[in-house]
Each structure stands twice: as C-alpha cells, then as structure tokens.
Amino acid sequence: MPDPEITAEIAGIRVIDNHCHPEQVLVEGETDTQWDGFPQDAYQTPRVVNIPANIRPKNAKVLAAWRALWGISDETWSEDAVKRALAAKRQIKKDKGDAYPAWVLDRAGVEIALSNRVTMQRGLSAPRFRWVTYADMFMFPLSTAKLQLANSSYAKFYGSLEQKAKELRSGKASPQTLAMWLKTYVVAAIEQRKQEGAVALKFTAAYYRPLDFAPVPEQEAASIYLRCIREGGGPNLEDYKKLQDYIFFEVGKTAARLHLPVHIHTGPGSGAQYSLSGANPFLLEKAINGLPDTDFVLLHGGWPFSFQATALLMKSNVFIDFSGQEFMLSPRDLADVLRYWMDYMPEKVLFGTDAFPNPSLPQAAWEEFEWLNAQNARQALAIALTTMRDDGQITTGRAKELARMVLRENAAKLHRL
C-alpha cells in the first residue's frame, strides 16, 4: 500500500501537465477543430476499435470522474447516469463560460497545462494554458502526390500537411530554393509562434513516417528540392524522406536557439495504418546525437518500449513523459515504469495526461481524462515512491522531493515557466 504521508504530499501538489489537448470554450452548434494536428478522418480505423479497459465508459474510474466533476453520485453505470452527467456538464459549461477550462484544471489539481493545439482559442489563455505548437507542416514544402500514390494509407495525412504548408505561405507557390523555404517561412513561423507564447514544438511524425531522422548534406537536400521545382511535382518517397530529414535538423537547430523543447510522439497511436515499430524512440538516436543543443521530450514514454527508452535518458538533451500511460496501464503497472525511470534519471521525468476531446464519446472526453489521468498518475507515483523508500533507496523526505520534481518542477525548469 502507498505510504499515507507520501500520498498526502502528492495529493497537495499543483501539477504541470506536460502534454494534453484541451478543448476551447464553444458556443451552441460550434465544434473545435484545432485540438489536434490532423483532421479526424485521417485516422483509418479497423472495424472494431479496441479501447483500453481503463477508459471504457462503464469503468468504475469514469464514474469516479463524473462524481468529482459533475456531482453524479451513481456507483454503477446506466444510461440514466450518462444523461445526467452530460446534462450537468452542459450546465457547468454554461455557468462558467470562458473560465470553464481553468475550472476543469482546478478540479484535477493541475496548475498549468501544456496544450497541444493548432491555435489557442477561447478560454485557453496563459498562464494556465501554455501553447505547444505543431511543427510537422514545415517538412512538407512540396507536392505530396507521389507520397500519396506510394502509400495510400497515409494519403490524408500527407494531404493535410501539404495544405497546412500552403497556408503557411498564404497560398503562394513553393519558393524557388530550400533555403528560402526555411528562412522565409519555417524559421519566421517558429519565431512568430515563440513571440505569441509557444513554449515548445510538437512533432507527430510517427503517424506518417518512421522516426529514423538522419543527417543529410545540405547540398543533397537542396538539389532534391531544386530538381522538383524545375520539373514540377513533388519528390518520391526516398527523396522526400531525405528532404524531411534535413528540414527536421534545421527546425531542431532553430528550436535550440529559441529555447523551445521539441516534443515528439513515441509509442502507440490511433488508426489501423499506424506503425508501432516506426514509433520506437530508439529510432530518434541519430537526431538526438546530431542535435546536442536541442532538448527532446519523448511523449508517452515510448510505451511499450518504456524500459528500453530509459537508456536514452543518459543523453543530456533527452526527457521523457508518461502522458497517456495512465489509461494504457493500471496504476500498479505504471508504478513499475516510473520507478525504473526515477531510479535512473529522476530529473528527466515529466507528468502528462494526454487528455483530449472525444466527439464520439462526450461522457469520457478531455475533462474526464484530465481528472482521471491525474488521479491515476498520483496513485502510481505514490506506489513507486513507497516501494523505493521501503527498499531503502530513498528516505520519505527524498520521496516528497521526487514527487515535486516529477509532477511539477522538472517541467517548469525545462520549459522556463
């Protein structure tokens, strides 16, 4: 059982959520399309979607979230309980107005939420909500037609990112050289977003390619770009990878100069076409080694490669968060992951929820995830620290210190909050 003194200390910490997707305040009939970097129809799904047991609507912990957030006292799931939970949620949203998202954070014990969104909209203002801006479109300066033909499963991802790159240049044609694309659009956009409050860059590259970014000579990348501009049409799969690799390294250098950590999705993802093997954090080693001044955050801890990913923490520019693992794993299993990381590099471990809107399941959306995952994380951390203390590795005082580091201080230091 977790130690009561350690548990009480953890319960009182106002945490920093390193990774989430909060929903903006909406008016009647409005939808939020900015909480994710891709349109929802880009994720091809199998006929049967397997949802982890921890977040299925009838799970007892979802009921606990309803009690904490909406005041629904039911101990068992029922259609009537769902109706009353949704009605209570709608009323609280109406009563709180623009203060509603911050109210959700308060209920979950979260002080600051690092918000992965295309844009920050109504109700998501600093200092409670800090912007983590998407950077994937920077790697798609040219047509993706050949990519879509070569890999139709990813066609909507490629098309979406190509469109975002066009929007970045206000519909103008691709610039004549790769250097112009980087200077006029990529670097300028990152600098602008930094001025607008962004605290980190986010890559979701594992959704459309493996994470095996590698150094590419500038001359080779520039030659590929120039040839495509002259001939018309985009690069083939092999050449586009080289182009992306080069741009990724240039974005990493800009991020380092502006003190913006690079958050990158690792581990599992949505959709039938998603390649888990391509999201192994070990594939990032060449990028991590080649960009020593760029801080990388391995989102979701690379699960199910969590234990192997621990070795990457030896590199000075690598950090890891366990966002999303709270609903993939039970608190006891997550405690094993956290203990392994804290035994090794406790100053590199970050808390996150990966809370996100769920239009198809409004009774278990970002609000419930924010509360539920925060509670699961606190429970798992209490278990891990208690076992470390009981094994004589740390004192109770050190356990409290580690709790503050993982839940708050590590993220605050990394992101200069």
Single out the residue of 54, 39, 15, 38 nearest to residue 324, CA to CA. 54
* Residue 242 φ/ψ, nearest 5 degrees: -60, -40
- Whether residue 331 is preceded by a cis peptide bond, meaning omega within 30 degrees of 0, is no
Please determine, for residue 6, whether its predicted confidence score (pLDDT) is greater than 60: yes
Of 391, 374, 407, 387, the closest CA to residue 3 belongs to 387
Q: Using 50, 70 and 90 to split pLDDT, how confident is the model at 45?
A: low
Dihedral-angle region of residue 49 (phi above 0 means left; psi in -120 to 50 means alpha; beta otherwise): beta
Question: Which residues touch 298 (CB under 8 Å, ≥6 apart)?
Answer: 264, 266, 281, 284, 309, 312, 318, 319, 320, 321
- Quick check: bond before 359 cis, omega within 30? no
* Cα–Cα distance, 316 to 264 (Å, whole number): 16
What is the rounded distance in angstroms from the CA atom of residue 320 to the CA atom of residue 300? 8
Query: What does the alpha-carbon distance between residue 263 and residue 268 come to, in Å, rounded to a whole number?
Result: 15
Report whether pLDDT(278) > 60.
yes
What are the tens digits of pLDDT across the range 335-362?
999 999 999 999 999 999 999 997 777 7
Alpha-carbon span 63 to 75, nearest angstrom: 7
Question: How far apart are alpha carbons 288 and 199 in whole angstroms?
Answer: 19
Tokens representing 330? Answer: 């039970």
The burial of 118, by beta-carbon neighbours within 10 Å (0-12 exposed, 13-18 middle, 19 or more buried), is given as middle
Q: How many CB atoms lie within 10 A of CB 399?
A: 23
302's tokens:
């690379």
Separation CA 248–CA 48 (nearest Å): 35
Q: How far apart are CA 368 and CA 166, in angstroms?
A: 36
Residue 93: pLDDT over 70: yes
Q: Tell me what percent of the residues of the chain surpass a pLDDT of 70.
A: 98
Q: Which domain holds residue 188?
A: 4-414
Q: How confident is the model at residue 415 (pLDDT cuts 50, 70, 90)?
A: very high
Mean pLDDT of 294-321: 96
The SS3 of residue 386 is helix
User: How many CA atoms does the CB half-sphere of 292 hold within 13 Å?
Assistant: 3
Q: Is 86 left (phi over 0), alpha (psi -120 to 50) or beta?
A: alpha
Q: How many residues does the chain have?
A: 417
% of the chain with per-residue pLDDT over 90: 80
Strands (E), 94-165: 110-116, 129-134
* pLDDT of the residue at 195: 98
Judge whether residue 255 has pLDDT over 60.
Answer: yes
Quote the pTM value. 0.95
| Cα–chain center distance at 104 | 19
- CA distances 9 to 285, 378, 398, Å, are 36, 10, 12
Q: Say what the pLDDT of residue 47 is.
A: 47
**Distant-in-sequence, close-in-space partners of 417: CB < 8 Å, separation ≥ 6:** 16, 112, 130, 199, 411
Do 310 and 341 meet the contact criterion of CB atoms below 8 Å apart?
Answer: yes
Residue ranges of E strands in 303-368 = 318-321, 349-350
Supply the CATH number for residue 15's domain.
3.20.20.140
3-state DSSP assignment of residue 199:
strand
Q: Which of 394, 367, 130 is nearest to 263 (CA)?
A: 130
What's the pLDDT score for residue 202?
98
Nearest to 203 by CA among 294, 303, 113: 294
Q: How many helices (H) and strands (E) does the chain have?
A: 17, 8
Cβ–Cβ under 8 Å, residues 76 and 63: yes
Q: How many domains does the chain have?
A: 1
Model pLDDT, residue 298: 98
Nearest to 163 by CA among 186, 140, 131: 140
Q: How far apart are CA 260 and CA 287, in angstroms?
A: 16
Summarised one tens digit per residue, pLDDT across range 134-191 is: 999 999 999 999 999 988 888 889 999 999 999 999 989 999 999 999 999 999 999 9
Per-residue pLDDT band for 234 (boundaries 50, 70, 90) equals: very high
* Segment 202-218 mean pLDDT: 97
How much is the pLDDT for 44? Answer: 65
Q: What is the pLDDT of residue 411?
A: 98
The two structure tokens encoding residue 150: 């070569």
**Both structure tokens of 218:** 């500038």
pLDDT band at 46 (very low <50, low <70, confident <90, very high): low
